[in-house]
Amino acid sequence: MDHHAPHRTGHGHEHEHGEQESVLDLDAEVFGAQLGEALDLVPVTTPRRVVDLGAGTGTGTRLLRSRFPDAHLTAVDNSPAMAERLRQQGFDVHEADLDAGFPPLGPVDLVWASSSLHHVADPAALLAGVRTALAPGGVFVVLELDGLPRFLTASEPEDRAHAAAAAAGWNHYPEWQSVLEAAGFSVTRTSLTTTAPDGPTARRYARLWFDRFAQAFGIDLPEVPDGFAPRVTRTVWVAEVAR
C-alpha cells in the first residue's frame, strides 16, 4: 500500500491507480531524504529479516534495501499490480491483505509501515501479530504524514483545499501512540519536517496535488511561483516490545 494520498471516487480505476503511483513516486523523489531521517531513528543497525508492510511502489523498500543490504527483505502488499512492480525491482514479495493480520513471516527484526497502517480495518489484530513476530530486540516503525504536503506561502486557496481535504477524511489516522502502547509496545514519537528545494520534480508534484484539489473540491490553485518551497511533516513512531 504505502498510500498517503487520498482515495477518491468518481474516477476510472486505471486512471486513479496510475495517478496514485505518480503521487508515491514523486513524493519519494521530493521528500525521500525525510524517509532516510526516519530510518536514522531505528535502533536496529544489523537486522537479519526486514518486512515492509504495504510496500506500494517500493519507496520504503528501496530505502530499506539500501540501508540494510545484507538483510532478508520482504515487501508485503495486497495489490497484484504493486506486487508485480515490486518483483520487477528484484524484491521478495508476499501478497497479503493486512486486514487478515500479520502474514506468517516471523521472526523478524524490523517491520516498517509507512502511511499504510491507517488503511487496516483492525489495527489491533495486526499489531498483535507484529508483536508476536518480532525477534528479541526487534522494532516496529510506523510513519504517517501529519498533513498533506504544502507548496505555497500564505495561500488562501491552498488553506481552503487543505481544510476541505481534512473534512473529507483524506489522510486520516488515529494517534498511534496509545494504540501501539495498548498492543504492548514501548514507543518513541518523533516529528520530522522537511522543506524541499524548487525544481522540475517538485513542480510536477505540486501540480498533481493542485489538480487533485481542483477535481475533488473545485478549488483552483495558482501556478507554482518561482522559488516556492514544498514542505511536509511526518510523525515517526518507533515501537519496541515493552519489557
Q: Give the model confidence (pLDDT) of 2-61 as tens digits.
A: 334 433 322 233 334 445 657 888 988 899 899 999 999 999 999 999 999 999 999 899
Q: What CATH number corresponds to the domain at position 234?
A: 3.40.50.150
Whether pLDDT at 227 is above 80? no
Structural domain count of the chain: 1
Tell me, yes or no, whether 31 lies in a domain: yes
Question: What's the pLDDT at 225?
Answer: 80
Place of cell 513524493: 27
Mean pLDDT of the chain, nearest integer:
88
The answer to whether residue 105 is domain-embedded is yes
Residue 5 lies in a domain: no
Structure confidence by residue, pLDDT tens digits, 134-166: 999 999 999 999 989 999 888 899 999 999 999
Does a structural domain hold residue 108?
yes
pLDDT bin (cut points 50, 70, 90) of residue 231 is: very high
Give the E-state strand segments of the chain in sequence order: 49-53, 72-77, 92-95, 108-114, 134-145, 185-195, 231-241
pTM of structure? 0.88
Residue 8 forms part of a structural domain: no
Lookup: cell for 152: 505555497
Nearest to 1 by CA among 127, 147, 124, 114: 114
Look up the domain containing 186 and give its range.
Answer: 13-241
DSSP state of 99: G
Instruction: Assess if residue 3 is contained within a domain.
Output: no
What pLDDT score was predicted for residue 189? Answer: 97
Mean per-residue pLDDT for 92-103?
Answer: 96
